């Protein structure tokens, strides 16, 4: 027996020795290649010697003849960092001919932001044949519309993807007409068993490689090939440029390459030239610019392309423009607040030898900027901005620093070509708006009634609102003149001072403001805006955890880890986890339903038609009545004044009643209280206007934890593990479950792994 143990120990040591030699040899012959799309056999031959593909591998619309298959040499690819796509490849029976050594697909960048492995419409494909594949780290698997493909259901996709919901198998050959694995539990084809992945200690690294360890980020180092952390010096030695945490072949736009004192290649920002911005690509050329040595022209003539948030992103750091600034024919621009750090327009270049600020034909422009901008040289030119009030242009006068310029003249900016489509000056009033009531997805807002003399020109109120995590919002932030922006707009037709906003996100802070919609061509012109204010909605039940993964630790333990819910709808108080053994036939479990938020993201813009009031009464001013009364005796004058005051009072009361009909017509539903009877029937709940208490069984895990080790399990048994999230501050506070299937090791595998650790 001792000799036998010594022999086994010697064989184990020998196996480990050869394993280390093999690993070392593989590391020494590692050959890294770029992403490739294969459409011909020549394309495929270029990939043959690659061991790692940094990027994707797409084999598309390729036809293999029998002669090609006879002479075909398989590729040495072991790892793909992004995704693998096999699409309309004809004449090929198995991918074993192409990629027999592929072990891991990382899914760093996914196809359609979702898929790491896709096999689609491959007519002659009979089995998948990725016989070495052990892991798809991120992303889903989709194998569909392959009419002759068998052995799709004989693969343990849970062990490969880590989830029971991350793969889709449909419209392939029916398993009823396919061979089986025979005595093998999981196989790629007859005689080709599926290799189970080793425990996490032996797996290929899930994250970035650095100093022989796995890391989430490259701290103090730079990222190479999406998979490895290296020092900046190593990046230089490879002929690359370390910049913004990545080894690059070339500098990004708006940067020029230079050599530092040691002769290494570096990237330096260079914002010199006259920049013309028409689209998003033009904006990206201004990334990181703080000083433009030249001029900037903005002409966003495309009304539908949403560029407002990009304007803030790419132009928000500009502090100085040495030449001129021109804003021309940009209907989506409501304000120039996206230039939030701009403080100097130098005027070293001028338009028509006069103008350093040129703003013409911007239909929706309403405001300039909040800060003071010094215009060192040149004049301003404002025309055909029909919604920009003339008074706002005049406010630029103190910012003109060139003493030879003088005052803004009618040729520089005219009242007749600026602001003629809006109400300006003293006719713009402040509107008081307050939140009266709210729940998890609705809020009731009340504004102060309009005076009786202004009420008749009122058509309705427009409510603007947006998610605002921080209370630093202005009414022009992110707004698109043509309506394609991140502000939501709701219109209340009529004169009622109350309105309910619906389809809001739970447990979320919003900014809002209200403005009147009035008749602009009536002799009594008036408009009103409220200030930007804030409210927060109440919590409600969360959605399921976004993703759930597992790894078997030994024959009795499985570790589960997960992502928080996509819609937490509150502060997550705890998670509840349950598990139970299931039959192998219970393979296809699905996660609980994820709530959608349709209507919130796709609100249609409303179009409003102006309408005259059915009855317009314009009372004569008090001064006119008094002048007429001079011709009458004092008794008649006193009587007429009293009658007029009574009429005014009656009109004010009628106006208030018309505008404020009470809150009963605008009720905000609230959650019903919990029934006192713990076994309340449906009838009891209806009669007592209450809801039954929900009871949740399982292990409670703190809301700030995202992993849990399940112990006391049986060896080589399949378990269904379910998880749900619960929010704080709410009765019946737990959301729907998500589930996953996970399997423990056998005792034999556990003993083998323990023996490896000992040596």
Instruction: Write out pLDDT tens, residues 81-124.
Output: 999 999 999 999 999 999 999 999 999 889 988 899 999 999 99
d(CA 49, CA 77) in angstroms, rounded, equals: 7
Q: What is the CATH number of the domain that holds 447?
A: 2.60.40.10
Are 444 and 482 found together in one domain? yes
Are 261 and 366 found together in one domain? no
* In-domain check, residue 497: yes
Are 452 and 521 found together in one domain? yes
Gyration radius (Cα) of the chain, Å: 35
Q: Above pLDDT 70, what percent of the chain?
A: 81
What is the predicted pLDDT for the residue at 521?
64
Where do runs of H (alpha helix) occur along 101-182?
A: 157-161
Mode of pairing for the β-strands spanning 192-193 and 187-189: antiparallel
**pLDDT tens sequence across 9-64:** 544 454 444 444 444 444 446 788 889 999 999 999 999 899 999 899 999 999 99
Q: Where are the beta strands (DSSP E) in 301-340?
A: 320-321, 325-328
Average pLDDT, the chain: 83
DSSP secondary structure of 690-711: -BPPP---SEEEETT--EEEE-
Q: Where are the beta strands (DSSP E) in 448-497?
A: 458-467, 488-493
d(CA 420, CA 384) in angstroms, rounded, equals: 9
Are 343 and 466 found together in one domain? no
* In-domain check, residue 636: no
* In-domain check, residue 595: no
Q: Which domain holds residue 176?
A: 32-193
* In-domain check, residue 376: yes
3-state secondary structure of 70: helix
* In-domain check, residue 432: yes
How many domains are there within the chain? 5
* In-domain check, residue 422: no
Question: What is the DSSP-derived secondary structure letter of residue 744?
Answer: P
Which residue ranges of the chain lie beneath pLDDT 50? 1-4, 7-8, 10-12, 14-28, 200-203, 212, 586-626, 628-629
* In-domain check, residue 99: yes
Are 146 and 222 found together in one domain? no
Q: What is the CATH number of the domain that holds 374?
A: 3.80.20.20
What's the distance, Cα to Cα, between the start and end of the chain in Å? 20
CA atoms within 13 A on the CB side of 437: 11
Q: Where are the beta strands (DSSP E) in 190-293?
A: 192-193, 208-210, 213-215, 222-224, 228-230, 241-243, 246-248, 255-259, 265-269, 275-277, 291-292
Are 501 and 564 found together in one domain? no
**pLDDT tens sequence across 297-325:** 999 887 777 788 789 889 999 999 999 99
594-602 long-range contacts, CB within 8 A, separation 24+: 594/543, 594/544, 594/566, 594/567, 595/543, 595/567, 597/503, 597/505, 597/567, 599/503, 600/503, 600/504, 600/505
Are 90 and 156 found together in one domain? yes
Structure tokens at 350: 């001028």
Q: Which of 381, 453, 368, 441 is nearest to 417 (CA)?
A: 381
- 90 contacts 124 by C-beta, under 8 angstroms: yes
Are 572 and 532 found together in one domain? no
What is the predicted pLDDT for the residue at 736?
94
Are 173 and 221 found together in one domain? no
What is the predicted pLDDT for the residue at 594?
30
Q: Is the pTM value of this prediction over 0.75?
A: no
What is the predicted pLDDT for the residue at 11?
45
d(CA 152, CA 137) in angstroms, rounded, equals: 19
d(CA 524, CA 612) in angstroms, rounded, equals: 13
For residue 458, give every residue at least 6 positions away whose Cβ sits within 8 Å of its Cβ, in sequence order, or none: 450, 495, 516, 517, 518
Are 185 and 223 found together in one domain? no
Are 132 and 232 found together in one domain? no
Sheet of 718-727: strand order equals 699-702, 572-581, 718-727, 738-743
d(CA 203, CA 187) in angstroms, rounded, equals: 20
190-222: burial string, b at 16+ Cβ within 10 Å, e else: eebebeebeeeeebbbeebbbeeeeeeebeebb
Place of tokens 């009033």: 429
Burial of 98 (0-12, 13-18, 19+ CB in 10 A): buried
Are 393 and 282 found together in one domain? yes
Place of tokens 């947006």: 466
* In-domain check, residue 1: no
Q: Which residue, 193, 227, 242, sits at the end of a domain? A: 193
């Amino acid at each position: 027996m001792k000799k036998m143990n010594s022999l086994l120990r010697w064989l184990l040591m020998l196996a480990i020795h050869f394993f280390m030699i093999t690993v070392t040899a593989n590391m020494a012959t590692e050959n890294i290649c770029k992403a490739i799309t294969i459409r011909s056999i020549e394309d495929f031959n270029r990939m043959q010697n690659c061991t790692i593909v940094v990027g994707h591998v797409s084999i598309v619309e390729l036809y293999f003849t029998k002669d090609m298959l006879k002479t075909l040499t398989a590729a040495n690819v072991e790892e793909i960092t992004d995704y693998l796509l096999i699409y309309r490849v004809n004449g090929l029976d198995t991918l074993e001919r192409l990629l027999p050594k592929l072990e891991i697909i990382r899914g760093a960048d996914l196809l359609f932001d979702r898929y790491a492995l896709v096999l689609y419409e491959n007519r002659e494909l009979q089995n998948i044949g990725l016989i070495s594949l052990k892991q798809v780290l991120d992303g889903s698997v989709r194998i569909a519309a392959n009419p002759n493909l068998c052995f799709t259901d004989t693969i343990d996709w849970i062990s490969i993807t880590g989830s029971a919901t991350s793969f889709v198998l449909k419209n392939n050959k029916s398993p009823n007409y396919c061979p089986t694995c025979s005595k093998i539990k999981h196989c790629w084809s007859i005689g080709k068993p599926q290799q189970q992945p080793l425990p996490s200690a032996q797996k290929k690294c899930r994250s970035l490689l650095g100093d022989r360890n796995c890391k989430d980020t490259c701290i103090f180092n730079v990222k190479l090939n999406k998979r490895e952390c290296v020092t900046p010096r190593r990046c230089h030695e490879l002929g690359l440029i370390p910049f913004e945490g990545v080894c690059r072949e070339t500098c990004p736009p708006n940067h020029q390459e230079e050599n530092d004192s040691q002769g290494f290649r570096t990237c330096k920002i260079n914002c010199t030239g006259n920049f013309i911005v028409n689209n998003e690509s033009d904006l990206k050329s201004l990334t990181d610019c703080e000083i433009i040595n030249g001029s900037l022209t903005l002409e966003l003539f495309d009304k539908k392309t949403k560029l407002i948030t990009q304007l803030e992103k790419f132009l928000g750091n500009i502090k100085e423009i040495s030449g001129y600034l021109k804003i021309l024919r940009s209907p989506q621009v409501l304000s120039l607040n996206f230039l939030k750090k701009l403080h100097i327009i130098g005027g070293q270049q001028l338009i028509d030898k006069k103008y350093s600020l040129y703003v013409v034909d911007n239909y929706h422009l309403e405001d300039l900027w909040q800060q003071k901008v010094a215009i060192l040289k040149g004049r301003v030119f404002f025309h055909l901005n029909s919604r920009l009030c003339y008074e706002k242009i005049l406010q630029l006068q103190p910012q003109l620093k060139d003493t030879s310029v003088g005052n803004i003249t009618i040729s520089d900016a005219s009242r007749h070509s600026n602001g003629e489509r809006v109400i300006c000056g003293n006719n713009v009033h402040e509107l008081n708006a307050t939140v009266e009531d709210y729940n998890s997805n609705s809020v009731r807002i009340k504004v102060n009634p309009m005076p009786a003399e202004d009420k008749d020109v009122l058509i309705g109120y427009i409510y603007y609102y947006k998610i605002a995590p921080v209370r630093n919002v202005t009414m022009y932030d992110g707004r698109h003149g043509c309506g394609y922006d991140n502000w939501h707009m709701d219109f209340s037709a009529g004169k009622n001072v109350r309105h309910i906003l619906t389809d809001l996100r739970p447990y979320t802070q919003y900014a809002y403001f209200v403005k009147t919609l009035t008749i602009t061509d009536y002799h009594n012109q008036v408009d009103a805006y409220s200030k930007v204010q804030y409210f927060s909605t109440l919590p409600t039940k969360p959605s399921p955890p976004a993703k759930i993964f597992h790894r078997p630790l030994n024959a009795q333990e499985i570790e589960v880890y997960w992502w928080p819910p996509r819609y937490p709808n509150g502060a997550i108080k705890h998670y509840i986890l349950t598990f139970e053994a299931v039959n192998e036939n219970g393979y296809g479990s699905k996660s609980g339903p994820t709530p959608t938020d349709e209507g919130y993201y796709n609100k249609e813009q409303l179009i409003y038609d102006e309408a005259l009031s059915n009855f317009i009464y314009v009372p004569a001013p008090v001064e006119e009545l008094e002048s007429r009364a001079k011709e009458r005796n004092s008794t008649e004058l006193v009587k007429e004044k009293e009658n007029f005051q009574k009429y005014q009072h009656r009109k004010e009361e009628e106006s208030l009643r018309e505008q404020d009909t009470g809150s009963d017509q605008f009720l905000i539903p609230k959650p019903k209280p919990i029934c006192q009877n713990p076994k309340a029937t449906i009838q009891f709940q209806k009669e007592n206007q209450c809801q039954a208490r929900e009871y949740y069984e399982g292990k409670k895990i703190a809301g700030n934890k995202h992993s849990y080790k399940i112990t006391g399990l049986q060896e080589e048994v399949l378990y269904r593990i379910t998880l749900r999230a619960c929010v704080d501050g709410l009765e019946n506070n737990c959301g729907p479950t998500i589930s996953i299937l996970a399997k423990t090791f056998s005792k034999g595998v556990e003993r083998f792994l323990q023996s490896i650790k000992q040596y």
